[in-house]
Structure 1
Amino acid sequence: MDILATLSRGASLHVVGKIFFNVFGFLLHLVLSRGLGAGLYGIYAYGKTLSRIAIVFTNLGSDQSVLKYLPEYSDDAAQQRLFFGLSVLTSLVGSIVAAAVLAVYAPVISNLTIDRPEFIGVLRLFAIITVFDTLARIIHSSFRGLERLEYEVLSSKISRPILRLIGVVGALSLGYSLTGVMVALVVASGLVLGIASYLLLSRFELRPWISSDQVTRSSVFEYYNFSIPLTMKNAADILIRRVDIFMVGLFFSSTVVGYYNISLLIAGFLTIPLMGFNQLFPPIASRLYMNGEIPKLNSLYNTVTRWVFTISFLMAIGAFVYRAEILSLFGEDFTAGTPVLALFVVGQLFNCLGGPNGYLLMMTERQYVLVVNQWVFGIVNVVLNYVMITTFGVLGAAVATAGVFAMLNIVQTIELWYFERLFPYSLNFLKPLFAGVITTIVMVSIRYVMSDTVLLIIGGLTGVVTYGIVLLAIGIEEDDKEFFGKVTDGVK
């Protein structure tokens, strides 16, 4: 329970920060979509997608490596500095190279995809953001590796969305269009990097330092033997999570990219609980595995997965039932994405049902299995997207990607059982399923008497209350009672 308390504290911090981040992110995309229109917003969304793809290669998996090596060498400050130094150096060089490629080949990329002149300038400004965001990501991961999540939340989840929203609102208020908005976002990214650097230097003794007497062939091999496979895994992850947007940009207009991207972002809200627990799960899982505490690790895996699914299932119901009303907030052009949003909700629900299976494979030293998974399903996703898009249009992209989400999580859950005898499910999962069925009936019924924003507010609150009452009526698990009892005693 002490581990669960630590993990839940990290999850709670992340969830609070993520809610803050998503609320301001929601406002940011609302302002962008309303201020720019679906066409220009689609250009922004496509450029951001390409930037995020570039960031995967800029740090060669260094943001994940610090999650392993900082806690692993918690008693060896010199080794911590060495591995952190390798992370920073790798990220700096990689981000500059990636930014240069993106800037130089911007005209070529524009000609092959969204062939509009303003897209070239947008890509070049995103190249600068790529450098800032890569370095900031390393620092944010170091906060997680040191299990001081509050600093990551302050810098990444609070400061970043506030600065971005202020910049965008300011640019639009002064009459600037897409280029002015992008300049404001470049400034915001630079400020976030500055804040993260200040927090690291002022609150921690950790510094990136690579000395000739420390750098050995074995230490370098150890680092890149872990980080490079993760880069390969993350590259394949693009094929699963981002190739659909890339291919939508190849086949359709920027307007279609706009409502497709909004649908994907809204469905991404379902992963807030999973991402919350994933903030401190990797270092804790790594420590339990290295100490041979497999039963405790399996119990943690089971509980975390059940909690993640229980929360995400309620969010999925709301997003599915009220999908048209949610999209209408961004403008009438975006309601065309209603069926796309429905499919992504189902796909993300399977993602949450898998729990932290990807991180668990990574921390049990099955990183190469993770790489194979990502590449196999990534290639499958590319093929399926092409076939489905050419057959069914933009809806086919959502069908393909949502299906791959589901298949990948099923396979990774089976692999964890096969390799480590770790399995997250039990009959206790039937409780949120039953509560979800009742909640769905209630929320659908409310649609007959309300509509638009009123429906979202009243229907959403009613759904939350119904779901909670049904879960309480069915009964809370004993380990949950014990955990919440400890939390309550701690507050008292």
Structure 2
Amino acid sequence: MNEENKPKRDELRPTVGQGSAPEPEAEAPPVTPPGNADDGRRGDDTYVARVARGAGISTAGQGIGRVLGYVAQVAVARLLGAQFYGFYTLGVAVVNGVHIVSRFGMENGVVRYVAHHREHGDEARVRGTIVQALLITLAISLALSVVMFFGAGLIADRLPKDAPEMVMVLQAFAFVLPFFVFMSMTAWATQGFQTVTYAAYIQQFIRPGLFLLFVGACYLIGAGIVGVIAAYALAMFLAGVAGLYYLKKLFPPLFDRQAQTKFETKALFGVSVPMSVTQGAQYLNNFSAILILGAFAAGSPVGIFNAAARTATFLTAVRFAFSGIFSPIISGLHARQDREEMGRLYKDVSRWIFTGAFVLFLVIVVFAPQVMSVFGASFGQGVTALVIVAVAQLYSSSVGPAPRMLAMTGNQNFAMIATSVAAVTGVVVSLILIPRYEILGAAIGMATAIITENTGTMAAVKWRLGFWPFNLAWLKPLAAGAIAATATYAITLFVILPGGPIPNVMVFGGFLGLLFLALLFLFGLSDTDKEFLGAFWNVAKRYLPARFRGGGENRG
């Protein structure tokens, strides 16, 4: 390789002269001075520290976003009732499916190749990648929106005869689709610049915050299901506008008509096409049970199962918090062929994801009846479904960001195969069980798909890259969780707080989490655990009042 074509490590993040914008402090690593070798582990600018900073910012976003989204779902369920909440849930499932098709896997391509071209200092190809990804997905979404609007009757005909409202619901969601795609693609594009801050702002603060605000307005004016869907669309649109603003902040040449643009269509589609199949299969893993349940029992059963599944999906917040920053870092490491660092990072990140998800899992399982009662009295039927899906989501957290590992290292076809097999398996199981068991059958079908997919992607990472997520260090969070859950459950047998399920879940769930954390420290932390927690805490302190931050904060 010629010297001039070698990847320059000082170009991992552009300088201000290259069109970068100042980012929040402690967000991304500083630029290495030209001529200095940087192996990614100098000072506190290690890959562990970068993951911790990214995960810290994204965790704040995921935590707040998930809470806002969950509160909004509870509000919608109480506003519409179980039956119409079920219709709304089916509409969300359909628009999410069409949204996957509209993205065409471009979200993976834009992250990978923005990071890759920045690694080589190629601004023209960075601009071309972003422009192509945005325009192609927007064009597809507009076309499919028209198809969805005029095909709503055909879709509704596949549902039980007691669901005539679904035509109106699906037509309303057809107007949501372009805004949904526009918002998500701008958010994904920002992650190619090795920052998750702006994606967190868009998807975890702005969109759910606006939706909750607009749902509150629906309460005040007495709007029905169409008003809720309109609120959904407006929140997406405004979040997308914010996404464009952040893209301009990160990469001003994107909006400079004089800037050079180079398109790498073949490379972009080479990643995007197989990953679009993968994303479609993952969609089926998450939504096929809801769609099949809706085909046999639209209305209340769909709403109850969705409430259980969404609650269990809280566990995925931890994985998503890490995946945003993990993906471009792995892409950069792969470009430099640093397999040792890739394997070490994958193992550590997988354990951290599991540890965070395990705490949420224990709270959900111990307090499952109280959690489901928050949606309303009729939602108690979903307790068993909640536990089943939560077990599957915990397993998916245990394998870490395996699909992202494959996508960022040129092994996206193996992710496609694993998720496709899982999707077919989940559909078959759902078709067999849902007609007889309804909500329980849907839970088993979804859990089967999730477990099959993650087993396949984990096996592919081991086969293709030689990396395995598990080691003896996993025994510590397992032991801490078992002790904390047992102690908390024993206390709840004798102590019940007044005020209903919410105070009990918050107080005793908080106690479980603190006891779990204390036991982890008691059992001892590894060097990378300590490094991660130190960098993570530096980010967390930025969200605390000034009097709690202390002195000597490392601004990174």
**TM-score when scaled to structure 1?**
0.95
- Aligned-partner residue type, residue 17 of structure 1: G
Return the match for 2:421 from 376, 381, 384. Answer: 376
Alignment length (residue pairs): 489
1:459 aligns with 2:505: no
Query: How far apart are 1:289 and its partner, in Å?
Result: 1.4
Corresponding residue number in structure 2 for 1:126: 173
Which position in structure 2 is the counterpart of 1:408?
A: 453
Q: Classify the secondary structure of the residue corresponding to 1:279.
A: helix
1:169-228 CA distance string (max 9 Å, x none): 1022111211222222222222222222233235531427999x9667xx3222111111
Alpha-carbon distance between aligned partners in 1 of 2:251 and 2:336, rounded to the nearest angstrom: 27
Find the partner of 1:358 among 395, 403, 425.
403
Which residue does 2:312 correspond to in 1? Answer: 267
Q: Look up the match of 1:164.
A: 211
Alpha-carbon distance in 2 for matches of 1:16, 1:417 = 31
Return the offset for 1:155.
2.1
Q: 1:118 and 1:282, CA in 2 relative to 1: closer, same or farther beyond 3 A?
A: same
Which of 61, 64, 85 is the matching residue for 2:131?
85
The equivalent of 1:435 in structure 2 is: 480
Taking structure 1 as reference, are residues 146 and 254 closer, same or farther at Cα in structure 2, changes over 3 Å only? same
2:53 to 9, 33, 39: 9
Q: What's the offset of the Cα at 1:490?
A: 5.4
Equivalent pair of 1:114/1:254 in contact (CA under 8 Å): no
CA distance in 2, matches of 1:86, 1:210: 15
Match of 2:361 among 309, 316, 319: 316
CA distance in 1, matches of 2:534, 2:280: 43
- What's the CA shift string for 1:16-46, capped at 9, x where partnerless? 0111111111111111111111111111111
Residues in 2 aligned to 1:210 and 1:105: alpha-carbon distance in whole angstroms: 39
Counterparts of 1:201-220 in structure 2 under 5 Å?
201-207=248-254, 219-220=264-265
Q: Which moved more, 1:403-412 or 1:234-243?
A: 403-412
Q: Distance in 2 between matches of 1:461 and 1:484?
A: 19
Shift of 1:389: 1.7
Q: How does 1:174-185 map to 2 (within 5 A)?
A: 174-185=221-232
1:51 paired residue number: 95
Q: Residue type matched to 1:421 in 2?
A: G
Partner of 2:150: 104
Quick one: structure 1 residues 394 and 482, their matched pair in 2 at CA, closer, same or farther if it must change by over 3 Å?
A: closer
- The residue number in structure 1 matching 2:22 is none
Q: How does 1:115-154 map to 2 (within 5 A)?
A: 115=161, 116-154=163-201
CA 206–396 in structure 1, closer or farther in 2 if over 3 Å, else same = farther
Which digits, 9 at most, give the CA deviation of each residue in 1:397-430, with x for residues without a partner? 2112212322322232222122111111110000
**CA–CA separation in structure 2 for the residues paired with 1:480 and 1:432:** 12
Deviates more, 1:390-399 or 1:283-292: 390-399
**CA distance 1:410–1:203, shift in 2 (3 Å):** closer
1:478 matched to 2:527? The reply is: yes
Deviates more, 1:117-126 or 1:467-476: 117-126
| Most deviating of 73-82 and 398-407 | 398-407
**Offset at 1:473?**
1.3
User: 1-side partners of 2:507 and 2:261: how far apart?
Assistant: 61
Deviations 1:417-456 (A, max 9, x none): 2211111111000000001110121121133121633321
Pairwise CA distance, 1:253:
2.8
In the other structure, the counterpart of 2:30 is: none
Secondary structure of 1:330's counterpart equals coil
Secondary structure of the structure 1 residue equivalent to 2:252 = coil
User: Which digits, 9 at most, give the CA deviation of each residue in 1:359-383, with x for residues without a partner?
Assistant: 1011121111111111111111111
Residues 1:237 and 2:282 are matched in the alignment: yes
Aligned to 1:341: 386
Q: Quick one: distance in 2 between partners of 1:269 and 1:201?
A: 32
Q: Give, in whole Å, the separation in 1 of the partners of 2:515 and 2:311.
A: 23
Deviates more, 1:39-48 or 1:457-466: 457-466
**Is the contact made by 1:43 and 1:114 (CA closer than 8 Å) also made in structure 2?**
no
Show the 5 A alignment for 1:384-395.
384-395=429-440
Secondary structure at 2:243's aligned position in 1?
A: helix
Change (3 A) 1:442 1:91: same
Shift of 1:484: 3.8
* Residue 232 (structure 1) shift: 1.0
| Residue pair 2:415, 2:460 contacting (<8 A) in 1 also | no
Answer yes or no: is the 8 Å Cα contact 2:52–2:532 preserved in 1: no
Taking the aligned partners of 1:436 and 1:151, their CA distance within structure 2 comes to 33
* 2:175 aligned counterpart, secondary structure: helix
- Distance in 2 (CA, whole Å) between partners of 1:411 and 1:180 is 41
One-letter amino acid of the counterpart of residue 521, structure 2: L
Partner of 1:72: 116
Task: Indicate the larger mover: 277-286 or 185-194.
Answer: 185-194
Question: Alpha carbons of 1:462 and 1:420: their partners in 2 closer, same or farther (altered >3 Å)?
Answer: same
Conservation of the 8 A alpha-carbon contact between 2:382 and 2:439:
no
Residue in structure 2 matched with residue 491 of structure 1 by the alignment: 554
* C-alpha contact 2:84 2:225 (8 A) present in aligned 1: yes
Does 1:254 find its partner at 2:299?
A: yes
Aligned to 2:549: none
Contact between 2:248 and 2:255, CA under 8 Å: does it hold in 1?
no
Match of 1:426 in 2: 471
CA distance in structure 1 between the partners assigned to 2:175 and 2:255 by the alignment:
23
User: What SS is found at the alignment partner of 1:73?
Assistant: helix
Amino acid at match of 1:463: L
1:491 aligned counterpart, secondary structure: coil
Q: Identical aligned pairs, as a percentage? A: 25
Q: Deviations over 1:157-176 (max 9, x none)?
A: 11111111111110221112
- Structure 1 CA distance for aligned equivalents of residues 244 and 160 of structure 2: 36
Measured in 1, the distance between the counterparts of 2:338 and 2:528 equals 18
CA distance in 2, matches of 1:203, 1:363: 22
Kept after mapping to 1: 8 A contact 2:149/2:170: yes
Letter in 2 for 1:164: F
RMSD after superposition: 2.0
User: Which one of the candidate residues 67, 81, 100 is aligned to 1:23?
Assistant: 67
Distance 1:255 1:206 in 2: 50
Deviation at 1:350, TM superposition (A): 0.4
Distance 1:173 1:22 in 2: 24
* Structure 1 equivalent of residue 11 of structure 2: none
| 1:306 match | 351
CA contact (8 A) 1:85 1:208 kept: no
Contact 2:309 2:389 in 1 (8 A): yes
